[in-house]
Every structure is written in C-alpha cells, then in structure tokens.
Amino acid sequence: MQQNQSAYSKLIKTEAKKLGFMFCGIAKAEFLDEEAPRLEAWLKKGMHGEMQYMENHFDKRLDPRLLVDGARSVISLGLNYYTDQQQADPLAPKISTYAFGADYHQVIKDKLKQLLAIINEKIGEVNGRAFVDSAPVLDKAWAKKAGAGWIGKNTNLINTKTGSFFFLAELIVDIELEYDIPATADHCGTCTRCIDACPTEAIVAPYIVDGSRCISYLTIELKNEIPQEFHGKMDNWMFGCDVCQDVCPWNKFSVLNQETAFKPHDDLLEMNKHDWQDITEDVFQKVFKNSAVKRIRFAGLKRNIGFLRNSD
C-alpha cells in the first residue's frame, strides 16, 4: 500500500505540472490545531471587518474532513500569475496584477476538474472536491503543511524559489497519499519591508494583518463607503494592492507566468487616468468581461475611482 501511495503521489504531481501548476504538495487531512487559536483571536479582534463569512463554518475551516466525507489528503497547488506587464499611464488608478487577465477562480477550477478526472481515470474511483477561494479552506496553512513555503510577515505564502505571486487552491480527496514535509523554516529574518511599505498600516505586527485596513479589503470586500481616514493613503489602488509583494525581496525570484488566460485585455493597460475617471458601464463590461474585477461591479469600481479622485 505504501508503494501505491508513493506512486499515486508522483502521478498527481506529474499531472499537476502538465496542467501548468507551479507546485503541488500533499498533506494529511487533519485538524489544524496550530491555526485554531490564531484564527479565533483574529476574529475576536474584528480584523475581518465586514467579511462576516469568515465567522461562519469555523470548524470546517480547521478540519477538511468536515468538507469531504472520508477525507484523507489535501493536495495543495499553486498557479503562477506573475507578469512584468504594467499599466502604461503611471498616474492611472492601479489594478492588482492578479486581476489583469481572466478570473482565476474559473481558470483554476477548470484545471482542478481535469486533475480530479485524471486521478479517477488512473488511480480509481476517488471522492474529492476542488477549492479555489470559494469555501472555508485555509489555503496558506495547507500550502505550508504541504511544504510549499512559509507564511511571511505580510501573511502571504512565500517560496524561496518563486516568491509569492501565485494563487493557491486545493483538492481534498479520500485516499491516503505520500505526505510532504511541512515547511518549518521562516526566511523573513529581520526584514520589515512589507510592514514599512503598507500604505494603510494594515500589517499591525509581523505575521498579523488587520484585514479591515487592507487596501484589497477596502476596494473589494467592503460594500459600504470607504472610511475617510483612508483619504490619501490608498496609493492610487482602485482594485486590490500589490505593495507588500512588490517590496518583498523574495519576489526577485518570480518568473513570468505562462498561462494564456492571464494575458491582460488589450485595452486594460492602455487606459490613462482620464479614461478610468470617465469609464462607462459599456467599457467596464468589455474590459472586464471574464475578470475577477466584475465581482465589485461597475458601481464598486466607480466608488473606488471616485474616492481616489477626491483624495488627490
């Protein structure tokens, strides 16, 4: 049986690589006892802001066996989205690079479905579920347990060979596999660049982000008006924020992604400051047709652009 576990694990990792995943690690499906007190303390301090869903399914977030019947293994995968392409106008409101191309949820979910189909074809009937940011799964904790990297002071998962510009996703399956050695080393050292650079001082301590102050939260998750205290502190971000990754020394090892779906829309990078300020719903629908930006809708983007304009 041990021999089968090793062979199955190698097969899964080989097929994941063929599908374009940057890494694939495997951890035993069990209760995340280290994460439980951290998550509870973070929620009690209200650092999730208006993200009420973070309070829901507390037990499921910590135990994958409550998400998939008979779960034995968590297959953690990373998909690179790093690009050196930039918006042409340095004065234009900024969009996080992860949203330049097609919505990663769908791109990754399609790949996970293919991987699960291959597992069923080559290993046998396996019960499993794919997770891409859409269910109570602690992606970074599982990636760390699967040996993919450590959780940095900016709370992003960082890999010594590839940095942090990648998406995380999981397949939780009901078969025993060969488990990788969890990442235990922390390579942040004495560096505090991410903490020092955060425009809204959201990294309130090493390894702790107050989500309610994070620009990504303010521009994406927050449904009400952006609080006035953040006037002049948004660093011109209208959707998401890359600051804590841009300044991270480990991202000098980032390599360009090869995913054609992540290629930016032709018009997106060329739009200047005034194009964004005058954007119409028709242009929004065209430029962000299959984009993660559609999540905040036209009204949300206009709110963000208006807030930046009033902060000038």
Q: Which is catalytic among the residues 63, 89, 133, 235? A: 133
Measured between alpha carbons, how far is 290 from 298 in angstroms, rounded to an integer?
14
* 246 Cβ neighbours under 8 A, 6+ residues apart: 197
Residue 167 structure tokens: 């998406």
Amino acid sitting at position 4: N
Length reported for the chain: 312
Residue from 285, 283, 277, 278 nearest 310 by CA: 277
Measured between alpha carbons, how far is 14 from 46 in angstroms, rounded to an integer?
42
Measured between alpha carbons, how far is 49 from 247 in angstroms, rounded to an integer?
25
CA 210, 161, 196, 167: dihedral to nearest 10 degrees?
-30
Is position 133 annotated as part of the catalytic site?
A: yes
Measured between alpha carbons, how far is 70 from 52 in angstroms, rounded to an integer?
29
Q: Which positions are catalytic?
A: 133
